[in-house]
Chain A
Amino acid sequence: KAGVTQTPRYLIKTRGQQVTLSCSPISGHRSVSWYQQTPGQGLQFLFEYFSETQRNKGNFPGRFSGRQFSNSRSEMNVSTLELGDSALYLCASSQQGQETQYFGPGTRLLVL
């Protein structure tokens, strides 16, 4: 079974721009979570989607948004990018009723 895939792997943007990141979960997994990882803050939870509905949300500003499609693929969008948004963005999927999450390789975003 293929693992979680994320595209793109690397991205460079400038302040004020917006960005969309994509995540394809493991086949059969309907829950997708997004995390931001930085050296200073560690792994911080952004949001979680299940069956196209946002089920949980972390403490991030409204510039961070996401959605999930009927095939469980998910996207997250960051608008009006700030320098502090530079981070590794990780997506994780899990099966319904299972608590173990499986992570993708991440998208490294650099905001200049």
Chain B
Amino acid sequence: TQLLEQSPQFLSIQEGENLTVYCNSSSVFSSLQWYRQEPGEGPVLLVTVVTGGEVKKLKRLTFQFGDARKDSSLHITAAQPGDTGLYLCAGALSGTYKYIFGTGTRLKVLA
């Protein structure tokens, strides 16, 4: 069974703090996506990482793809209440058109 484990599951922090969310698997992915989802809505794409070791920055968000393409991390600097939501990682299994979704990290940023 292919799994994509995210940690932590829940995170409640104060505005201005930094945080890191991890996404780990024993499977190798050809690409990995990060999404943010608000209640009752569909996941919204944040970034796609493709190359092992790749680092992408999106304003205060930094995404890293592991060298072996089995894991990824999302780091948020100076979190704001608008960052509140469910963060999901999703790995694409090479050549299969199959995606495995992580269990999700529910982030709450308090003002």
**A residues apposed to B, CB below 8 Å:** 4, 6, 31, 33, 35, 42-45, 48, 50, 55-56, 88, 90, 92, 99-106, 108
Name the B residues within 8 Å of A44 (CB-CB): 101
Q: In the complex, are the beta carbons of B30 and A106 less than 8 A apart?
A: no
Enumerate chain B residues within 8 angstroms of A6, measured Cβ to Cβ: 42
Chain A residues in 8 Å Cβ range of B88? 43
Q: Which secondary structure dominates where chain A touches chain B?
A: strand
List chain B positions with a Cβ less than 8 A from chain A.
30-31, 33, 35, 40-45, 48, 88, 90, 92, 96-99, 101-104
Q: Is the CB of B41 within 8 A of A106?
A: yes
* Contact between B42 and A56, CB atoms less than 8 A apart: no
The one of A33, A42, A102 that contacts B45, using a Cβ cutoff of 8 Å: A102
